[in-house]
Chain A
């Protein structure tokens, strides 16, 4: 399978980095500079969670966020302006990381031509089976020292 023409603009990780940095600087950190490209080997995520939204259309596409549970909890605290020591409920966790995936997905979608509708976010602790699908891009960022991944997949009908 080759990269669908409509999604070619996103095969370059810089587009996704720009989207993610914009999101983090405006709504999570309140200032730029805390999200950066991950240097070195593909990181291992501790107790990973997978959060995605799908974009319907002639080529259905998945935008997936990958982060360790602890990193997701930190993101949740930042978004909800919670104290460092405050416990994060599963509902708040799913809501927060789901909204991050939604914003990244929506902005990714706006960069391609003729995309379809965006689905509601799904959050799981098990990696979804993507063995029949085609990975367009997988890239990792560092956020306050912890790794975060974003992957774009073309889904097999």
Chain B
């Protein structure tokens, strides 16, 4: 399975990618929402996007809105991974089409638990 990690911080892209690779994902990266849209165009096999909120050029929220307008990406799971922890921000993102919300800082276990909840990882199967 392929995942797209979207964050303007290379450090954070690496941390998130390491977690995803550890549970069997192949990861590609984007440093903002616009690059992420281009990556989705180029990689039709992406099943998961992990999305930061605050990024230059195009924010994560704008990316979610743009991605949800594309019927062919309807099955791509969108998970926000961000410091934006206010209730109204979370509600906005979920209403726009994000499936899950992870707050920074996080542990690998938090990300994996969310992926299990979303049905993207089955640790029993991996064992």
Interface set of A (CB-CB < 8 Å, partner B): 22-23, 26-27, 76, 79-81, 92, 95-96, 98-99, 102-103, 105-107, 109-110, 115, 117-120
> How many of chain B's residues touch chain A, expressed as a range?
20 to 34
Q: List 9 A-B contacts (CB under 8 A).
A: A79-B11, A99-B9, A99-B11, A103-B83, A103-B104, A105-B83, A106-B84, A109-B85, A115-B86
A79-B11, A95-B11 as given contacts; A107 in contact with B85, CB under 8 Å? yes
CA of A153 to CA of B104, assembled, Å: 22
A interface SS class:
helix
Determine the chain B residues whose CB is within 8 A of the CB of A119 once the complex forms.
Answer: 54
A110 touches B86 (CB 8 A): yes
B86 x A109 contact (CB < 8 A): yes
Within 8 Å of chain A (Cβ to Cβ): is B22? no
Q: Does B8 touch A at the CB level, under 8 Å?
A: yes
Chain B interface, DSSP helix/strand/loop, else mixed? loop
Complex Cα distance A110/B83, Å? 9
> What is the bound-complex CA distance between A99 and B12, given in angstroms?
8
Which residues of chain B are near A26, meaning CB under 8 Å? Answer: 105-107
B103 to chain A, nearest CB (A): 8
CB-based contact B9/A106 at 8 Å: no
Q: In the bound complex, do residue B10 and residue A107 qualify as a contact, i.e. CB atoms below 8 Å apart?
A: no
The reply to whether A106 and B106 form a contact with Cβ atoms under 8 Å apart is no
**Quick one: which of B14, B54, B82, B106 has the most chain A CB within 10 A?**
B54
